[in-house]
Amino acid sequence: MKLAGKKVLVTGAGGFLGSHLVEALVRTGCKVRAFVHYNSRNDWGMLELVDKKTLDQVEVISGDIRDSDGARKIMKDQEVVFHLAALIGIPYSYVNPLDVADTNIQGTLNLLLAGKEHGVEKFVHTSTSEVYGTAQHVPMDENHPVNPQSPYAATKASADQLALSFHYTYGLPVGIIRPFNIYGPRQSARSVIPNIIMQALTADELKMGSVSTSRDLTYVTDSVEGFIQFAECDQTVGQIVNLGSENEISVKHLIELTEKSLNKKLKIVEEEKRIRPEKSEVQRLVSDSKKAKRLFQWKPQIEIEEGIQKTVSWIKNNIDFYKKEIYNI
C-alpha cells in the first residue's frame, strides 16, 4: 500500500509525535484528518507549531476518543488510521490510573469499533516499549515477555491485546508499532531529554530521579519515517514491530551529552518526588529492531549526539513553551 493520495486519520495529532507525523503525511501526499483533544481554548497542541502552509492542508477536528459517537464520526471515509492518542505520563498514571485506563483502553476500543464499522484499509496502533518492563534479556525483540510495571504500561498492554483481538476476530487490518523512547523538538518536559535540557538552560543544577536507568532513544524524524514505512508495508498486518535504535544510553550519559552541548557543568540533585516506586522503575530498555529492517528496511539515520544538539537548539529557541518552575508529570 502506498499512502500518497490516501485519506489518513491521525489521533493524538496535537502531541509531540503526532504533530511530526501529520507534517510528514502531508509531504507524502496524504489527505490528512488530524484529531486533537478538545479544550475550550481551541488549542491544537503541538500542531500550533506546524508551518501554516502545511496546516492549511490538514482537516483538524477536536474531540475525545472516549466519546464513541465522536470516534465513529472522525473515522467516516478514512482509509488509513494512525492511532497515537493516549495519556502517556507514567507519573500521572500513579496519581490518576482511572483516567489513564479510560482513555487508553476504552478510547482505543471506541476507535477499533469505528474502524471495523467503516472498513478501514489499515489501522496502525501505537504501543510502547514500556509494556516489556525492565529488560529480561537484551536486545529486546517482539517475543520478549510483556511485563508492565506501571498503570500506564498496563493500559497500553491491554490496548495492544484489544487491537490484536480485532484482527483475529473481525479481520480488521491492524498492525502494532512498538516504539522505544522517541525524542526531539516539541516534546514536553515530562520526558527525560527535554526535562534535562530545560533545566540545564535555566539553572546550574538538575533535579532528577534515578540517573542510572538506560533507554533506547530514536530521533523523532526517524521514528516518523518508521511509522510511514510500517503503514505502507502489507506484511505488518497482524504483527507487532519494534522501532528502536538498538543502542543503550543511561540518563547520566544524557546529562553529560547535554553538558557538552551547552559547554556547561551541572550539579545533579536527587529529588524524592521524581523517583519512581522501586518495583515500578524500568531499569533497561534496549530494542531489537531486526524485524523492522527485514519487513520494510527501516534504520535510524540520526545519531544521539546530533539529535541532542538539534533538540537543545529547538528548546533554547522555545524555552517559554516550558513551565520551568514545576515538576512535569
Could you please state the CATH topology (level 3) that the domain comprising 192-215+247-286+301-321 is classified under.
Answer: UDP-galactose 4-epimerase; domain 1 (3.90.25)
Q: What is the pLDDT of residue 173?
A: 98
Encode the chain (329 residues) as per-residue pLDDT tens digits: 999 999 999 999 999 999 999 999 999 999 999 999 999 999 999 999 999 999 999 999 999 999 999 999 999 999 999 999 999 999 999 999 999 999 999 999 999 999 999 999 999 999 999 999 999 999 999 999 999 999 999 999 999 999 999 999 999 999 999 999 999 999 999 999 999 999 999 999 999 999 999 999 999 999 999 999 999 999 999 999 999 999 999 999 999 999 999 999 999 998 888 988 989 999 999 999 999 999 999 999 999 999 999 999 999 999 998 987 788 88
Could you please state the CATH topology (level 3) that the domain comprising 7-183+219-243 is classified under.
Answer: Rossmann fold (3.40.50)
Please give the Cα distance from 237 to 173 (Å, whole number): 6
Is 322 tagged catalytic? Answer: no
Residue of 38, 92, 94, 152 marked catalytic: 152
Closest of 282, 283, 273 to residue 91, by C-alpha: 273
Reply yes or no: is the peptide bond before residue 185 cis, omega within 30 of 0: no
Please give the Cα distance from 206 to 273 (Å, whole number): 14
Residue 27 neighbours by CB distance under 10 Å: 12
Helix axes 304-317, 192-202, angle to 10 degrees: 50
Please give the Cα distance from 13 to 20 (Å, whole number): 8
User: What is the domain partition of the chain in residue ranges?
Assistant: 7-183+219-243, 192-215+247-286+301-321
Q: Are the beta carbons of 164 and 111 closer than 8 angstroms? A: no
pTM of the model: 0.97
